[in-house]
A and B are shown apart, each in its own frame.
Chain A
């Protein structure tokens, strides 16, 4: 078998999984899981609110535990595995949130934005690099932009000093051919390593991750048992198996990497994601996976079909951070419904 490049495997369980449990991850869960991640040898463990540093709020959900405590608790369990955070400028400020994360010992800042808005990441990436920490750029909702636009935006992040670029399939809307096309172009045109972060809304997270690797990705994201937003992410235990079988060198201890599934099953029982009519429609509509719970809440509250809400959100091309539109859409659907059935009272 020809030499394959070494793959950086990022464990996003304690960050993307935050969406799956309405940001109610406990300190004990952080400690127990971080120890398992360390034992498995993942390159990075990402910790924090689902929407990243500084996002805990009424609008997108409040974290149970302050992020500084979460980060310190995780850091205390890590040796080989490095600590990373997700950063969305706007939620995260340099002075308040990044400074706090630096103090907590975060090694890598993955600075994300909607896939056509890379300009907003310049100051955050620049600041992280200026203080000597590692910064990557993350293009979220990347299914919404063409490969050429993604390359332009990725080049901006690279020029700001990003040391890696990750495409997120935040809506779980990709098919393997999309991944091959987009990751392939970035991998051939960027200097820095390229990565992929999958969601499983259409049951393609592993297939898409493999397509990314074979198109040249050097970074791959996953979560234990798929613990993440919407239908969840690429399950790390399956990624570990695929990487091993395809001969990609990693820093993983294979059995310990398989073990994280069992750890997650115990720790997050009741919150583990799975495919449902809602997540499937969310993937088809190309809407951010993190919207699943707020959409269900709004639909229940206003008596509308959550699948209709998702399709309408997709039509409006709503992106992460626009959670307030969910209620507006549900309300409008409820009014239309009431108009179509004038005899029934509006909920």
Chain B
């Protein structure tokens, strides 16, 4: 276990190296993170731990989550830190925030794709009502500096195949007669609710639209391409790709994601929306090869195992605005990100 945690700590240190000045405004501040025990939440805590331990930031965190106690027990190196307060609760019923909260990251949401088909009503309720609740609570704070709303790159709808990447002003079609649109629609609704709060109460809200990610702390049970491929490879394969492997994604490492979000707290302009993700496209067959090369023997990659009409699709962000305003960048190239993720999972499995 120690080796796995050391790996993450090294990554957190690396992503902050030479860049802490961008975060100086956070010194001595109280951050409230909703949904702070997921993939992003864990990475935010890792970066905060480095900021406090090595850079004297004196951050104070409240982590609000339905699984706060379990998380604190599972990861005691974070759970036992006295400057992190874990608060267990359901975002739909959040009524108030700690009075001295200056910064809020609202990441609480139902993001598990399995729920989009099984419990779509719960997805709509948690992601919509939860956002409404926390914005109302935020409105009661005396000195809120920034509220970062984690939306989703899926709000763009279908990215045209011939469009290499999409910027923040892209408006694609979303099908509202499809139950599986519930997640994207719930995030669009959350964004609109945030716009209402800006208009009515002048809350300093910045919206982030995350794309695809990989890294330690990410559950391999989630049915996403990169997690599926890594899990199947760890189990000896084969990797099964529904289509011909031409579908395109871009994938950002957890430490870069977390830095991007922290930087938004300080450098994001209120009322603005930013993409969060790697601008480097990769097709699924190349992604699978990137993963299988870490295994001996290399797991078989099977393509075309889905229905014959399986569509190719693409989801890649333009990040020029994020790079300019937030200093966002990809510091961990995808091959390294994949290598680190596989190494972490092997260490966790063996511990």
Contacts and interface: CB of A to CB of B under 8 A. Distances in A.
Contact of A161 (B116, B223, B305): B223
B117 A152 contact: yes
A14 B114 CA distance: 32
A188 B117 contact: no
A155 B228 CA distance: 17
A132 B300 CA distance: 13
B307 A191 contact: yes
B221 A156 contact: no
A191 B242 contact: yes
B310 to A, nearest CB: 6
B113 interface: yes
B14 to A, nearest CB: 31
A131 B235 contact: yes
B318 to A, nearest CB: 27
B184 to A, nearest CB: 14
B179 A155 contact: yes
A159 B116 contact: yes
B55 to A, nearest CB: 39
A116 interface: no
Interface string B169-203: 00000000001100000000000000000000000
B74 to A, nearest CB: 17
B307 A194 contact: yes
B240 interface: yes
B209 interface: no
B113 A132 contact: no
Interface string B201-232: 00000000000000000001101000010011
A101 B295 CA distance: 26
A70 B139 CA distance: 65
A163 interface: yes
Contacts of B116: 159
B308 interface: yes
Given A155-B180, A159-B114, A216-B307, A192 B223 contact: no
Given A5-B308, A218-B307, A159 B118 contact: yes
B231 A122 contact: no
Contact of B305 (A187, A188, A193): A193
B195 to A, nearest CB: 30
A277 B234 CA distance: 53
B117 A158 contact: yes
B309 interface: yes
Contacts of B234: 132
A163 B242 CA distance: 9
B226 to A, nearest CB: 14
Interface in B104-122: 113-118
A159 B307 contact: no
Nearest to A163: B240
A190 B232 contact: no
Given A188-B309, A191-B306, A122 B221 contact: no
A191 B221 contact: no
Contacts of B240: 163
Interface in A125-171: 126, 129-132, 152, 155-156, 158-161, 163
A156 B119 CA distance: 9
Nearest to A188: B309
Given A152-B117, A160-B114, A192-B242, A132 B307 contact: no
Given A131-B235, A132-B232, A155-B117, A160 B306 contact: no
B157 interface: no
Contacts of A193: 305-307
Contact of A130 (B113, B221, B308): B221
A332 interface: no
Interface string B108-151: 00000111111000000000000000000000000000000000
B128 to A, nearest CB: 20
A130 B114 CA distance: 14
B274 to A, nearest CB: 29
Nearest to B232: A132
23 contacts: A5-B308, A122-B118, A126-B221, A130-B220, A130-B231, A131-B235, A132-B232, A152-B179, A155-B180, A158-B117, A159-B113, A159-B114, A159-B223, A160-B118, A161-B114, A187-B309, A188-B307, A188-B309, A190-B306, A191-B306, A192-B242, A192-B307, A194-B307
Interface of B: 113-118, 179-180, 220-221, 223, 228, 231-232, 234-237, 240, 242, 305-310
